[in-house]
A and B are shown apart, each in its own frame.
Chain A
Amino acid sequence: MEATTAIDLAQLEARVSRLEDLDGIWRLFQDYRRHLDQRDFAAYSQLFAADGEWIGNLGRGKGPVEIEALLTRTLEVYPDDSTRTLHLVDNPVIEVDGDRATATSTWVYIERDEEDRPYLSLIGHYEDVLTRAGGRWKFQRRVAYLDFPYEAPAFAL
């Protein structure tokens, strides 16, 4: 009876851990889009593993230093709140396997038109490989696909 209880507890722990991992990875996605929308490229780059990669229409970078430099070079910083834009991230599908995980999610980029009305500017999806590093989830590789209007990610650069 004691042995049965111990085994059940281990299984239960694994099930709880999997749910915690899904929650942790969703938080990572939200940290990513929040730092991006707030143009905090230093905090954004720290969401990647030491040899983590970002690949997309802006180019590619490997490691936090390169990734921060890529965003600093390619993205404008808002002069004030009236020019702010927003990413909506949804449709997460996450598969956890120990200290690695893979995921896909959809992103929608909302901008303002010349009359200050919001509109759907871009739509794409992310394909991720994630790794647990130092007790927290980080991007090992994030490919940001821009689907509408289509623009090829910079795999070859």
Chain B
Amino acid sequence: MAARDGDLEARLRRLEDVEEIQRLLLAYARCLDEGDYAGYSELFTEDGELNAQLGQAKGREAIRALLDRRLGDDDAPPRRKAFHLIGNPTIEVDGDRATSIVTWAYLTHDDAGYPMLLQFGHYRDQLTRDQGRWMFARRDISRDLGFSPLDLPTTDAR
């Protein structure tokens, strides 16, 4: 009976892990869209790695500094400039490690204020359970299609 209990506990744990990792994926998008780069950096392990189109960084401090430098805008009005839509999650859990592949879409608005799909790509993640909490040990971001606002010489409505 003890063995069956243990087996069931492990199966339930895996399902809980998948659910918790989905929360992490959404927390990432929320921090990014709200400009909470401190919160964003805390989703990574202490020595976590970010490889993105806006740059590369290793460690929470470096990740936060990178986002502040590339995305920070003290004069920005308190309204959203973009939504990251997170979809197609595929999550594989293996004990205290996991991998995930996720589609991201970057939705913003054109000059007239209408929604516009500007770019999308994929996240490829290595995740670690650190002190009971799932975090990104490494996140590689690819853009498959579209344009980054960072690439554009002007802010015309692309």
Contact = CB atoms under 8 A, between A and B. Distances in A.
Interface of A: 5-6, 9, 12-13, 16, 19-20, 23, 27, 30, 33-34, 81, 84, 86, 88-90, 110, 112, 116-120
Interface stretch (B67-75, B124-132, B141-149): B141-149
Interface in B1-49: 1, 4-5, 8, 11-12, 15, 18
Contact of A112 (B88, B90, B145): B145
A89 B88 contact: yes
Contacts of A19: 15
Contact of A30 (B90, B105, B118, B144): B90
Interface of B: 1, 4-5, 8, 11-12, 15, 18, 87-90, 103, 105, 117-120, 144-147, 158
A20 to B, nearest CB: 7
Contacts of B90: 27, 30, 34
Nearest to B103: A88
A112 B90 CA distance: 24
B90 to A, nearest CB: 5
A119 B120 CA distance: 10
Given A23-B18, A88-B103, A89-B88, A9 B8 contact: yes
Contacts of B146: 112, 116-118
Contacts of B103: 86, 88
Contact of B87 (A9, A84, A89, A117): A89
Nearest to B90: A30
Q: Which of A34, A86, A88, A120 has the most CB of B within 10 A?
A: A86
